[in-house]
Amino acid sequence: MTPWSEEQVVAAAPDASSVAAGRKLAKPAPWVESGITDSLLWGACQGSGKKPYQVSIDLTEPAYRCSCPSRKFPCKHAIALLLLWSSGQVAEAGAAAEFAREWVEARTTRAAAKAERSERSEPVDAKAQSKRRDERVAKMDAGVDELVLWLEDLVRAGTAAALAQPSAWWNAAAARLVDAQLPGLAEHLRDVAAGASSGRERWLLRRLGRLWSLASAWRRRETLEAEELAELHIAVGYPVQTATVREGEPVRGRWTVLGTAHEERGPLTFRRTWLRGSDGEFVVLLETQGPGQTFGVLHLPGTVLDGAVHHYPGATPRRILFAEPPTVVDAPPRLGSTTSIRGAVAEQAAALATAPWRTRFPVALAGIRFDRITDPRAIDDDGDALPLVRGSDMTTVLAHTGGQACDMVFELEEGRLRALSAFTDEGVVVP
pLDDT for 110 equals: 79
Instruction: Mean pLDDT check: name the lowest of 119-128, 248-257, 279-288, 342-351.
Output: 119-128
What's the angle, vertex CA 194, arms to CA 190 and CA 198, rounded to 5?
A: 150
Percent of the chain with pLDDT over 70: 97
In Å, what is the CA distance from 203 to each residue of 197, 353, 354, 388? Answer: 11, 20, 22, 18
Contacts of 31 (CB under 8 A, 6+ apart): 43, 44, 45, 46, 81, 84
Q: Sign of torsion, CA 326 328 329 334? A: positive
In whole angstroms, give the CA distance from residue 289 to residue 270: 6
Domain 341-429 bears CATH identifier 2.40.50: yes
**With 60 as the cut, is the pLDDT of residue 121 above it?**
no
324 band by pLDDT with thresholds 50, 70 and 90: confident
208-219 pLDDT per residue, tens: 999 999 999 999
pLDDT for 309 equals: 93
Q: Which residue has the higher pLDDT, 40 or 197?
A: 40
**Cis peptide before 62, with omega less than 30 degrees from 0?**
yes
Q: Calculate mean pLDDT across residues 331-340.
A: 92
Angle between helices 167-179 and 183-196 (to 10 degrees): 170
Each domain of the chain, given as residue ranges in start order, spans 6-119, 131-236, 249-329, 341-429
| Nearest residue to 309 via CA among 273, 352, 255, 346 | 255
358-415 pLDDT per residue, tens: 889 999 999 999 988 788 999 999 999 999 998 898 999 999 998 899 999 999 998 9
